Amino acid sequence: MQTPFWNKEIETAERAVLQKIQLERLRETILWALKTPFYQKQLREARISSPDNIRSLSDLRKIPFTTKDDLRLNFPKGLLAVDMKDVVRIHSSSGTTGIPTVIYYSKEDIDNWSDLMARCIFATGATRADIFQNMMTYGMFTGGLGLHYGAERVGMAVIPIGGGNTKRQIKTMKDFCTTILHVTPSYLLHIHSKLDEAEVKREELVLKKAFIGAEPHSEDFRKKIEHIWHIDAYNSYGLSELNGPGVAFECAYKKDMHLWEDAYIVEIINPETGQPVKDGQPGEVVLTNLIRRATPMIRYRTRDLAFLHPEPCPCGRTHRRLSRILGRTDDMLIINGINVFPSQIEEVVMRIPEVATNYVIQVEKKGALDHLTVKVEIYPKLFLGEPAQLDRLKARITDELHSAIILHPSVELHEPNSLPVSEGKAKRVIDLRPKE
């Protein structure tokens, strides 16, 4: 399973060497951060007025966290560290939740990001001989362009098709002999259910791999994808505040994602106290970007919950692996006082073979109590025609959910493709409770 390295020296560097690189780059990052109004204030609070105040990596902890709200409050230019004429790209969140956030990239930033992406792609065993169909949305969202640049850097043939239009996606996969997809996991499942309609058989496609991201998903969800498509699916992690995709990516061993520690400093903290958790324990991922000039980012609270594997990976890369995202600090539901993460529900739903590709979690108030409903789609090939079978299935899902999350949900069975599927990020949680 040994795959070639894109940059062997860095990817297999001793931990001590990596830490030396981190310290040097953190100092440079401080220098750039001091050019922005926002970090001038943050660093002043930490009594840091020059890179010389950072003597060791632990000095990083003196600096306050940066949050999404900070980015909103300092929109549009509070974190810009270079002259606008040196900016070559702007990515911005859509701002559906209020004020948008923005990240600026210099030419060098884009170059560094593309190189990290190439590293990720190489680690999966992909080569320049591959045909890469990028189904991720292009535009202001970083997912599309990030992988696009990385794939071109590797030298693959890139099909910049973007998201949506399932029939055309399938036809394109066939026409150009696509070997690798970049896609959200829920959309990849959706496409499979449309093969018949597009009158294309799986055997007519030469698909080998998929890079799946932009949506948290469980290991069982990945296995389901790999099983129905007969491909290898690789998890990826990134967020636009830290460039976009390419922060962490799975290697050919597919045992969680190498986080490139020469480019990012990762901390795992207790989201309530802000203190670091013990090695290997789950907590909120906090990231510092070490290689971006136009928008420096120091101790950014991602609100993603995950843990780091302390032990090395057999692939030889020394950069630690980040677990899949266990949940979000802000998507945890509190239902009748019990903490529930949508990922726990997904895990149960996905291991039941009679359940198809889509599910919805709905919470509402019934009298004084919260009521949880889990809606699932049934898998057509396993329907035997008898209502008794479906009643047993419902009871089984209810029981398994009860053991996973303590609560007793109502389970609803739906027809395939009847629950809302978005062709981008799936909206799976509907909270109808009145806001306090």
Partner 1 sequence: MKITQISVFLENRKGRLYDVCSLLGKNSINIRALTIAETESFGVLRIVVDKSDLAIDALRKNGFVANLTDVVAIEVGDRPGGLAEVLKIFADNDVNVEYMYGFVEKFSDNALLVFRFEDVEKAQKILTEKGIKIVTRKEIEGL
For partner 1, the binding residues (CB under 8 A) are 196-197, 378, 380, 383-387, 390-391, 394, 412-418
Nearest to 234 by CA among 269, 291, 183, 199: 183
Contacts of 244 (CB under 8 A, 6+ apart): 91, 113, 142, 143, 145, 146, 238
Strand-pairing partners, residue 434, are none
What's the token pair of residue 329?
């600090």
Min CB(353)–partner 1 separation in Å: 15
Min CB(213)–partner 1 separation in Å: 28
Min CB(243)–partner 1 separation in Å: 40
Using the minimum distance from each CB to partner 1, give the nearer residue, 197 or 399. Answer: 197
3-class DSSP state for residue 166? helix
Using the minimum distance from each CB to partner 1, give the nearer residue, 100 or 416. Answer: 416
What's the token pair of residue 332?
């945890």
Using the minimum distance from each CB to partner 1, give the nearer residue, 170 or 306. Answer: 170
Using the minimum distance from each CB to partner 1, give the nearer residue, 59 or 412. Answer: 412
Using the minimum distance from each CB to partner 1, give the nearer residue, 4 or 387. Answer: 387
Min CB(418)–partner 1 separation in Å: 6
Using the minimum distance from each CB to partner 1, give the nearer residue, 272 or 386. Answer: 386
Within 19-178, strands assigned E span: 87-92, 102-106, 131-134, 157-159
Degrees (nearest 5) of the Cα angle 409, 411, 416? Answer: 145
What's the token pair of residue 283?
């907590």
Using the minimum distance from each CB to partner 1, give the nearer residue, 348 or 419. Answer: 419
Min CB(416)–partner 1 separation in Å: 6
Min CB(384)–partner 1 separation in Å: 6
Min CB(372)–partner 1 separation in Å: 15
Using the minimum distance from each CB to partner 1, give the nearer residue, 19 or 422. Answer: 422
CA distances from 267 to 58, 93, 283, 299, 303 (A): 11, 24, 9, 8, 12
3-class DSSP state for residue 171? helix
Torsion angles phi and psi, residue 377, rounded to 5: -100, 140
Min CB(288)–partner 1 separation in Å: 48
Token pair 């590797």 in the structure block, residue: 154
Q: How far apart (Å, rounded) are the C-alpha atoms in residues 423 and 214?
A: 12
66's torsion region: left (phi>0), alpha (psi -120 to 50) or beta?
beta
Contacts of 436 (CB under 8 A, 6+ apart): none
Min CB(364)–partner 1 separation in Å: 16
In the 8-state DSSP scheme, what is residue 290? S
Using the minimum distance from each CB to partner 1, give the nearer residue, 24 or 391. Answer: 391
In the 8-state DSSP scheme, what is residue 129? T
3-class DSSP state for residue 348? helix
Using the minimum distance from each CB to partner 1, give the nearer residue, 35 or 194. Answer: 194
Strand-pairing partners, residue 410, are 373
Min CB(398)–partner 1 separation in Å: 12
Q: How far apart (Å, rounded) are the C-alpha atoms in residues 248 and 264?
A: 10
Token pair 């981190």 in the structure block, residue: 22
